[in-house]
Amino acid sequence: MKLSMKSPVRNKVKGHRPGILPVKRAVLNFLLCMVCFSALVPTVGAQESQHQKVRIPVGAVTREFTLYVPAQLPANAPLLLSFAGMNQTDDFQADQAKYWMVADTAKFIVVYPRAVNPNASWDMTGPSDLEFTSAIIDTIYSRYAIDKTRVYASGFSWGANFCYRIANSMADKIAAIAPTMGHSWGPNPNVAASARPMPVLQVMGTVDDVFKLENVQPVLDKWIAHNGCNTRARTTEPYPASRSSSQAVKKLWINTTTKVEVVLLTTPKGHWHSNDPAHIMVNQEVWDFCKRYSTAGLIVSSVDAVEQPGCLVISRELFNLSGVRLNVPADDSTPAVYIVRDRLSDGSIKSYKMIANN
């Protein structure tokens, strides 16, 4: 910045030293310019400053992950693992998933692991990345005393594929999985063999040309059977029901005894991690699903879960299309079209259509 300093003009005010007032003005003008300039320079946001690189030994190698810890983290906080896609880094996954947007208020830790295999892909046959995942959990527990019964796995594309491997191999450590835009495929066989029922939220794009929507149902069918869920899905369209313009759809299969769910969320997107408020915010949906489970099972049912910020469903009524009130079926899965009316804890009432079908 070029600052012009004019020659001081003698000031004849009694008691004033010549030349001092203009110099002070010039200095003040300079400082003011610097303040204005600094306001234009972008600053590092809180969410960026809280992302940190961590390196840990795993066997004979050093592995790396990106860690996000929200401010004022409470004791026994949960942990969410978010695995990147093939040829993608932990930094890329952190940037596209943006779990800090949810973690800042929900108060959970997020870890984005970095793959080291060829093409930055997750190991679907050997033990290396399972050992890495276990080491991450142990490291975060030792540093932050997290609730080890509430560790969740999500991932994008090939990272979603790896979530299914984790579900089958680490059910004692992973409470629920939420794969997005990917499913078990290739060297990771399509089997459901977890040591206990595993809650699954699968997010897919209807125009994804990499992991195509048409191929996901056979994968989910394995987990629906393994978890003992009803074979009839509850369908909510549009989803959320309160957003009439949304083109997202939710299908839910549930075990009415254990309340373990398998959920398919579809959104009109391609092969990317979508956070689109016009349809669904995937980061929020992943958390809202996972947070209801621990490795011991259900913590809070979907009926009692938060459906709007700060609001709980305190009563639910079902009606047929003619407006006749119905008794709620034991499992809400009798094939029919229902009109659902929820009364929320803030006094508001939300009505929407729910389809129970095959």
- Checking if the pLDDT of 111 tops 70, the result is yes
Q: How far is CA 198 from the centre of its chain?
A: 18
Contact of 140 with 108, CB cutoff 8 Å: no
- Checking if the pLDDT of 177 tops 60, the result is yes
Residue bearing the bigger pLDDT, 105 or 118: 105
Rounded-to-integer distance, Cα 280 and Cα 267, Å: 7
pLDDT at 320: 73
Please tell me the pTM assigned to this model: 0.73
pLDDT at 323: 67
pLDDT at 67: 98
Is residue 326 very low, low, confident or very high in pLDDT (cuts 50, 70, 90)?
confident
Q: What angle do CA 334, 338, 342 make, to 5 degrees?
A: 115
- Checking if the pLDDT of 28 tops 70, the result is no
Is 64 exposed, middle or buried, given 0-12, 13-18 or 19+ CB atoms closer than 10 A?
middle
- Checking if the pLDDT of 23 tops 60, the result is no
Q: Number of helices (H) and strands (E), helices first, in the chain?
A: 8, 17
> Average pLDDT of 174-183?
95
Calculate helix-pair angle for 158-169, 128-144, nearest 10 degrees.
80
- Checking if the pLDDT of 270 tops 60, the result is yes
Contact of 290 with 319, CB cutoff 8 Å: no
Is residue 119 very low, low, confident or very high in pLDDT (cuts 50, 70, 90)?
confident
User: With b meaning 16 or more CB within 10 Å and e meaning fewer, what string describes 180-198?
Assistant: bbbbbbeebeeebebeebb
Mention every residue, 6+ apart, whose C-beta is less than 8 A from residue 287. Answer: 80, 99, 102, 103, 106, 108
The helix or strand, by DSSP H or E, that contains position 66, with its residue range, turns out to be strand 61-68
Mention every residue, 6+ apart, whose C-beta is less than 8 A from residue 219. Answer: 164, 183, 184, 190, 202
Dihedral over Cα of 128, 131, 135, 141: its sign: positive
pLDDT at 37: 40
- Three-state SS at 67: strand
Span 304-322, pLDDT tens digits: 444 444 455 666 677 776 6
Rounded-to-integer distance, Cα 233 and Cα 263, Å: 9
Contact of 293 with 287, CB cutoff 8 Å: no
Is residue 12 very low, low, confident or very high in pLDDT (cuts 50, 70, 90)?
very low
Span 201-251, pLDDT tens digits: 999 999 888 889 899 999 999 999 999 999 999 999 989 888 888 899 999
- Checking if the pLDDT of 45 tops 80, the result is no
Query: In Å, what is the CA distance from 195 to each residue of 17, 173, 252, 296?
Result: 87, 11, 22, 12
Beta bridge partners of 293: 298
Residue bearing the bigger pLDDT, 13 or 244: 244
